[in-house]
Amino acid sequence: MGALSLVSIERLNTYIAYSDLMDHSGFVLDKIFSVEKGIRDIDRTERGYMITHDTMYIRLLHNSIDSIHRNIERLRKLTIDNNEFQKNINSFDTAIKSRIIAVNANLTYVDTSKSSTLSKFYFLSRQQMLDCSRLLKKMHDSENELKADRYRSELIYADLTTKTIKWLLFVFCIITLFLFTLMLKELGGRMRYQDELQAKVIDLKRSHNELQEIAYVASHDLQEPLRKIQVFSNMLLYLKTDLKNAEFRETLTRINSSAFRLQSLINDLMSLTSLTNTNEPKKATNIHRMLQFIISDFEIRINELGAQITVNQLPQIMGYEHQLKILFNALLDNAMKFTKAGVSPYISIVAENLTGKDLQEINPNLQGKRFNCIIVSDNGIGFDQEFIAKMFQIFQRLHTTDYDYDGKGIGLAICQRVMANHEGYIVAESTPDLGASFKLYFPVEE
């Protein structure tokens, strides 16, 4: 289509060029006719004066000479690119000047001579007129031949342009029909794919709802027997004071502790499953003020550990306030839980406005987007970067053998779920024994 369009444009431009050349030849021939008329006028006025001696013919003679000179200059400009024509003009210019000299000499002879005999200047003037006429005929014939060639070329390119445009329209129609057919086929495929995708989405929603119901029922059904285990173990421990067997009492204590731990896991699991529902409306949340309330809830624990928490000015985030509370509560809880022995915890919370350059490995399309990044850093035991892939998975604990920390392996999974609900990302960086840093990337609202 592009090639045919270029060919059509080239032929159309050539056709227009030949049409312009035809007009140019018409202008040249018109000026030749004007010069020829001027020569005839000179001849007529010369003879008129010779017969009548009327000075009116002298004025007409000068007008004709001026007209010839003007038309010669115009011809010279019109044919500046035609060397042969320029030579003919120069020859004609010389001849017409000789003719004018002869005419003037002849008229002077008529005024001064009393004889009726024709002067030699008259015959010289007549000869010069024939030379001028011959040169004009030569220029006229040359331009006519050129005009005929241009006319033939114009007809040829007019025909070629018409045929090319017809072929162009034909090819355009064929290609358009072909593309339209492909579009219909592609549209049909996309519609079938959309139907299949919609069916899978419905199945996925149904499975999701079923899993939520199972998780909810399981957690609630587990609560009752778990509470009974706790109640009966407490009754045996505290009500049966006659139990003197220390091993038996330790066993009951372990049962009670495990039941309490299982209760805590169920509660965390319920918190995680509840985060899949985002019916809460988004609103601008003052993170700085929210953290002040969360820190006040940890006041007793902070005093026990001698912890120090610094919070710089943080931006407002468009999000779900309840989920954001869970997020920062879990991060602060982890920072104070995984501390080094004999070292007071130090926790820093700062904010930066960054691009998604650090998120290229997650999604290359995020590189140019802007994010409000909140960084939570601590001086705790840290972790090895090789475990980064599994640390956000549910019930995955990094510190199980070398360290004795009461972690359930669900806190960071909750954090990642909250960030996903906010269309954001959480990135962890750490070195063992040198603390950990969690970067929360919240997309900047347009």
Cα gap 424→418, rounded to integer Å: 9
In this structure, are 7 and 150 located in the same domain? yes
Q: Is 398 exposed, middle or buried (0-12, 13-18, 19+ CB in 10 A)?
A: buried
In this structure, are 152 and 290 located in the same domain? no
Q: Is the pLDDT of residue 45 over 80?
A: yes
Cα gap 254→251, rounded to integer Å: 5
Q: Is the pLDDT of residue 266 over 80?
A: no
Kind plus residue range of the DSSP H or E element containing 374: strand 370-378
Is residue 364 in a domain?
yes
Confidence of residue 433 (pLDDT cuts 50, 70, 90): confident
Tokens encoding 85: 């024509």
Confidence of residue 401 (pLDDT cuts 50, 70, 90): very low
User: pLDDT value at position 348?
Assistant: 92
User: pLDDT value at position 258?
Assistant: 78
In single-letter form, the type of residue at position 92 comes to F
Is residue 346 in a domain?
yes
124: domain CATH number is 1.20.120.1730
In single-letter form, the type of residue at position 214 comes to I
How many structural domains comprise the chain?
2
Is residue 265 in a domain?
no
Is residue 223 in a domain?
no
Cα gap 84→136, rounded to integer Å: 13
Range of the domain at 21: 2-175
Tokens encoding 80: 């500046």
Q: Which residues pair with 317 in a beta bridge?
A: 285
Residue-wise pLDDT for 90-106, tens only, equals 988 888 888 888 888 88
Least confident of 124-133, 192-201, 247-256: 247-256
Q: Is the pLDDT of residue 143 over 60?
A: yes
Cα gap 247→251, rounded to integer Å: 6
Is residue 88 in a domain?
yes
SS3 293: helix
Is residue 226 in a domain?
no
From 118, 149, 175, give the residue that closes a domain. Answer: 175
**Per-residue pLDDT averaged across 403-431, rounded?**
77
Is residue 155 in a domain?
yes
